[in-house]
Amino acid sequence: MALSKREQKGFIVLSIILAGILIFYLLIPFIFTSQKDISSGDRELQIWIDSMQSVNKISSEQSEQTFFTFDPNNASIATLQDLGFSDKAIINLLKFRESGGKFNKPKDILNIYNLDSALALALLPYIRLQAEQKKNLHVQSNYNKAKTTAHSIHEQNKVNKKENIFVIEINSADTSDFKMLKGIGSTLSKRIIAFRKVLGGFYSVQQLKEVYGMPGSVIDDNAKHLTVDRSLINKIDLNSASLRKLISHPYISFYLAKDIIEYREKNNGIKDPDDIFSLKEITPELKSKLIEYLSVNNK
């Protein structure tokens, strides 16, 4: 049965519509997968890939970048550009300087807005601050002066020793000073310092004879070179010293320390060092020694 021209046209249009519907149906999975069905995991992966590409790009640029030392407090625009600063970073750095800001340490550059953090970290080893350099030079200068002074003093002491005109203050002298004395070497010098420490200081040059192994004749022979400053003695506060503190002093025995503690507790404190000199453990000779080392804090 033959179709009329009208029917033929209708058939062709219908066929085209059906073909279009079929093609659309076949393309649906691709259209929606590419636009709407990407999983969150895929997105995170893509973000990571993009970030790695960015990092690699920065690293590549920095590997090609030649750095050199500079001071951000006075570096020119051309210098900053050569170092890789962006225009925005340069503008912010200049504004910071114009407002009176200063870079006191290299890490301060990390505070500049729009300065790439990776670039800033790469530049840290190349920052040389003028103020810091001056400070280092000042420290070195002081060190050199101190070294020269110490050398001069040492040389002067050698001259003094040779000419026999030196004087040593025994409460502040160190081992090198004591070794200047005839008959005193390293061992006796160390013993003097150790005895002075437990004693609290010397009130008389003659006390040096109490140092273990010290010949009395050595002190007598060197007496003209020795002097003592009593104000440097570290005294014991009778109202706060513990039993251990008291008995650590060479002139105070365990029994005397015990009597002092008992007297202090019985009398609600000690008002004057003379108060304890009536204790039976204290002889007139011991009193003359102890009076230089005892004090009372009446808070």
Which range, 116-130, 142-156, 159-173, has the best average confidence (pLDDT)?
116-130
Which range, 37-46, 52-61, 127-136, 212-221, has the best average confidence (pLDDT)?
212-221
5 inside domain: no
Q: Give the pLDDT confidence score for residue 11 in this predicted structure.
A: 74
Share of the chain above pLDDT 90, in %: 31
Q: Which CATH number characterizes residue 227's domain?
A: 1.10.150.280
Position 16 confidence tier, pLDDT thresholds 50, 70, 90: confident
Q: In terms of residue numbers, what domain contains 218? A: 168-232
| 131 Cβ neighbours under 8 A, 6+ residues apart | 73, 102, 104
Kindly state the average pLDDT of the residues 90-103: 88
What is the rounded average pLDDT for all residues in the chain? 80
Tally of domains in the chain: 3
Q: Give the pLDDT confidence score for residue 34 in this predicted structure.
A: 47
Instruction: Count helices and strands (H / E) in the chain.
Output: 12, 4
24 inside domain: no
Q: Give the pLDDT confidence score for residue 157 in this predicted structure.
A: 60
Predicted confidence (pLDDT) at residue 140 exceeds the cutoff of 80: no
Q: What is the DSSP string of 222-290?
A: TGGGEE--GGG---EETTT--HHHHHTSTT--HHHHHHHHHHHHHTTS-S-GGGGGGSTT--HHHHHHH
Q: Give the pLDDT confidence score for residue 18 in this predicted structure.
A: 79
Position 61 confidence tier, pLDDT thresholds 50, 70, 90: low
Q: Both 118 and 174 in a single domain?
A: no
Q: Both 175 and 196 in a single domain?
A: yes
Q: Give the pLDDT confidence score for residue 129 in this predicted structure.
A: 86
> What's the pLDDT tens digit per position in 185-244?
999 999 999 999 999 999 999 999 999 999 999 999 999 999 999 999 999 999 999 999
Q: Both 218 and 242 in a single domain?
A: no
Q: Both 212 and 264 in a single domain?
A: no
Q: Both 211 and 254 in a single domain?
A: no
Question: Which of 232, 262, 281 is at the close of a domain?
Answer: 232
262 inside domain: yes
42 inside domain: no
Strand pairing category for 226-227 and 168-169: parallel
Kindly state the average pLDDT of the residues 164-179: 88
Position 37 confidence tier, pLDDT thresholds 50, 70, 90: very low
Q: Both 101 and 118 in a single domain?
A: yes
71 inside domain: yes
32 inside domain: no
Asked if 191 and 171 touch (Cβ cutoff 8 Å), the reply is no
Q: Both 269 and 215 in a single domain?
A: no
Tokens of 32: 């929606």
Q: Which CATH number characterizes residue 265's domain?
A: 1.10.150
Asked if 198 and 250 touch (Cβ cutoff 8 Å), the reply is yes
17 inside domain: no
Question: Which of 215, 232, 249 is at the close of a domain?
Answer: 232
Q: Both 126 and 91 in a single domain?
A: yes
Q: Give the pLDDT confidence score for residue 281 in this predicted structure.
A: 85
Q: Both 100 and 78 in a single domain?
A: yes
Cα end-to-end span (Å), the chain: 133
Q: Both 288 and 246 in a single domain?
A: yes
Q: Both 87 and 108 in a single domain?
A: yes
Of residues 111, 130, 117, the one with CA closest to residue 71: 130
44 inside domain: no
